[in-house]
Amino acid sequence: MTGILDSFGRSINYLRISVTDRCNLRCIYCMPPEGVPQMPHGEILSYEEIRIIVQAAAELGINKIRLTGGEPLVRADLPKLIKMLSRIGGIQELSLTTNGTLLKNYALELRQAGLSRINLSLDTLKPDRFRYITRLGRLKDVLEGISAAKKAGFDPIKINAVVMQGINDDEILDFARMTCEEGCHVRFIELMPFKGMAEFVPSVEVRQRISLLGKLEPCPSITGNGPARYYRLAGAKGTIGFISPLTELPFCSRCNRIRLTPDGRLRPCLLGEDEIDLKMPLRNNASTEELRRLILKAVASKPEHHHLEGGNARPVKRKMSQIGG
């Protein structure tokens, strides 16, 4: 078994790193139209500081890293960080979550720098609706980004779609068909029920709608990490995954991750408020041993489960763009 055991016997081997709180989109479930106050540049971890933290984490058994944002590709010279992290012993997988709008410009460089995989957030296949959901984006840019990523050799590319009642739930079958026609790996995500957002669609309902295309057969998890349950339509090369934090009661029993915010705080749980500051110790010349101790403390403080059962939302002080989702 790899990773660090938490207080409930879960093996934690996965670190998600938000490299920036900035984003070039304003998705309706993530940000207000005007955006959110941005962290001062000096408050955000440098690439060298991120490398030191990942080195300490790798020595403890963390072997999978995902870079997120905001939108990670808006941070300058991201391939430089990827190259630095890819050289750390013990890191078996280095992946990226992106909205895809800038991907066509960076796909080949990311691959050459050592990036293993790409997850792409895409909630609609309709240009006008894409503009509505993102407020600023063009679907054309994302599709060109997917094409560039495939050409660069990224395989598989996962597409994450947040399903929203009355907004994009009429496209469920269109996304599911992509697993048959294009061999894509599509994951449907239940929308977190934060105040003022659209209504979520339970995963069981999404599965029922997809059954119109044929029977969904359970299949093993594809390359990567995460809480998705995977299925496949008959004859499809791609898979369909369901991420169900609201309706799958043992959802947190498979959690294998901790999160690092852009300003250097470790969050044991996405939806909790507990954080452990790594930035100040790091900037005060903390030893690697001290950093490892703080990482172990964060893992030990992971709660058994989140508090969204029954669709009950609790306010989270940080915006998702400041946490990394």
Is 97 or 315 the better-scoring residue by pLDDT?
Answer: 97
**Which pLDDT does position 156 carry in this prediction?**
86
Indicate whether 150 pLDDT > 80. yes
| The pLDDT value given to residue 310 | 47
Q: How many CA atoms lie within 13 A of 110 on its CB side?
A: 29
How confident is the model at residue 254, as a pLDDT?
82
Tell me the pLDDT tens digit for each residue of 209-237: 999 999 999 998 765 556 789 999 999 99
Q: How far is CA 302 from the centre of its chain?
A: 18
Q: Mean pLDDT across the stretch 99-110?
A: 98
Q: Phi and psi of 176, rounded to 5°?
A: -60, -40
Split at pLDDT 50, 70, 90, the class of 246 is confident
> Counting Cβ atoms within 10 Å, is residue 316 exposed (0-12), middle (13-18) or buried (19+)?
middle
pLDDT at position 311: 47
What is the CATH number for 141? 3.20.20.70
For 118, other C-beta atoms within 10 Å of its C-beta total: 25
d(CA 176, CA 241) in angstroms, rounded, equals 10
Judge whether residue 320 has pLDDT over 70: no
Arithmetic mean of pLDDT, 238-244? 94
φ/ψ of residue 163, rounded to 5: -90, 125
Distance CA 84, CA 86 (A): 6
pLDDT digits (tens, 9 = 90+) for 189-198: 998 766 556 7
The Cα–Cα gap between 289 and 311 comes to: 41
Sign of dihedral through CA atoms 3, 308, 119, 227?
A: positive
In which domain, by residue range, is 174 found?
4-323
257-260, strands of its sheet edge to edge? 216-218, 229-233, 240-243, 185-190, 157-163, 117-121, 93-98, 64-68, 14-18, 257-260, 265-267, 276-277
Tell me, what's the pLDDT at 239?
A: 96
Average pLDDT over residues 107-113: 98
Tokens of 301: 């403080």
Q: Which residues does residue 121 pair with via DSSP β-bridges, in sequence order? A: 160
Q: Over the chain, what is the mean pLDDT?
A: 91
Collapsing DSSP states into helix, strand and coil, what is residue 232? strand
Rounded distance between C-alpha atoms, residue 268 and residue 86, angstroms: 24
| pLDDT classification of 93: cutoffs 50, 70, 90 | very high
Question: What is the model's pTM?
Answer: 0.92
* Closest CA relative to residue 270, chosen from 289, 257, 285: 257
* Cβ within 8 Å of residue 77, ≥6 positions away: 47
Q: How confident is the model at residue 186 (pLDDT cuts 50, 70, 90)?
A: very high
How many domains does the chain contain in total? 1
Q: How many CA atoms lie within 13 A of 270 on its CB side?
A: 16
Q: Which residue has the higher pLDDT, 272 or 286?
A: 286
**pLDDT tens digits, one per residue of 31-42:** 888 888 899 999
Question: Do 247 and 204 touch, CB atoms closer than 8 A?
Answer: yes
Give, to the nearest 10 degrees, the angle between helix 139-152 and helix 103-113. Answer: 20
Query: From CA 101, how far away is CA 39, in angstroms rounded?
Result: 22
pLDDT of residue 307: 66
